[in-house]
Structure 1
Amino acid sequence: MTIATFNVNSIRARKDLIIRWLTEKVDIDVLCFQEIKCEEKNFPFKDFNDIGYECEVYGQKAYNGVAICSKLGFENIQKGFNNEKFDQEKRFIRAKISGIDIMNVYAPHGDIEGPKHTYKLEFYKFLKDYIKNSFDLENDLFCVVGDMNIAREDIDVWEPEILRGTIGFMDDEREAFEDFLSIGLIDLYRKFHPESHGFTWWDYMSGAVWRDEGMRIDYILSSKQLSAKCESIDVDMWTRRRRKPTPSDHAPVVAKFNL
Structure 2
Amino acid sequence: MGVTLCTFNVNSIRSRIDLVERWLTEKREVDILCLQEIKCENGQFPVDRFEKLGYRCAINGQKRLNGVAICSKLPLTSVETEFGLDVFDRERRLIEAKVGETTILNCYIPRGGPEGEERHTYKMEFFDALTHYTEALLARDGKVLLVGDFNVALGDDDVYDREVFEGAIGFLPSEKEKMRKLLAAGLNDCYRKLHPDERAFTWWDYRSAGIWRDEGMRLDYILADDTLCAELETIEVDLWTRRRRSPTPSDHAPVVAAFRTL
Q: Normalising by structure 1, report the TM-score.
A: 0.97
Residue 127 (structure 1) aligns with: 130
The match for 1:208 is 210
* Percentage of identical aligned residues: 52
- Look up the match of 1:2: 4
Task: Spell out, residue by residue over 1:101-158, the C-alpha distance to the aligned partner (whole angstroms, 9 max, x if none).
Answer: 1000000000013110011011111100011122228x82111000000000111001
Change beyond 3 A, Cα 1:80–1:165: farther
Q: Deviations over 1:197-225 (max 9, x none)?
A: 12000000131000000000000000011
Query: Partners in 1 of 2:171 and 2:151 — Cα distance?
Result: 9
Question: Tell me, what secondary structure is at the counterpart of 1:136?
Answer: helix
Report the counterpart of residue 77 of structure 2 in structure 1. 75
State the partner residue of 2:53: 51
Provide the C-alpha distance between the structure 1 equivalents of 2:87 and 2:195, rounded to a whole number of angstroms. 36
Q: 1:162 offset after TM fit, Å?
A: 1.3
Structure 1: where are the runs of 5+ without partners?
Answer: none
SS of the equivalent of 2:223 reads strand
Kindly state the Cα deviation for residue 85 of structure 1 after the two structures are TM-superposed: 3.3
Matched, 1:40 2:47: no
CA deviation profile, 1:148-184 (whole Å, cap 9, x unmatched): 0000011100111110110000111111111111112
Cα offsets for 1:65-84 (capped at 9, x unmatched): 00000001212211132212
Residue 80 of structure 1 contacts residue 90 of structure 1 at CA under 8 Å; is this kept in 2?
no
CA contact (8 A) 1:36 1:67 kept: yes
Provide the residue aligned with 2:162 in structure 1: 160
1:63 partner SS:
coil
TM-score by length of 2: 0.96
Match among 138, 143, 150 for residue 141 of structure 1? 143
Task: Name the structure 1 match of 2:178.
Answer: 176
User: Once superposed, what is the RMSD of the aligned Cα atoms?
Assistant: 1.1
Task: For structure 2, list consecutive stretches of 5 or more residues without a partner in the other structure.
Answer: none
CA distance in 1, matches of 2:26, 2:94: 29
Instruction: Report how many aligned residue pairs link the two structures.
Output: 258
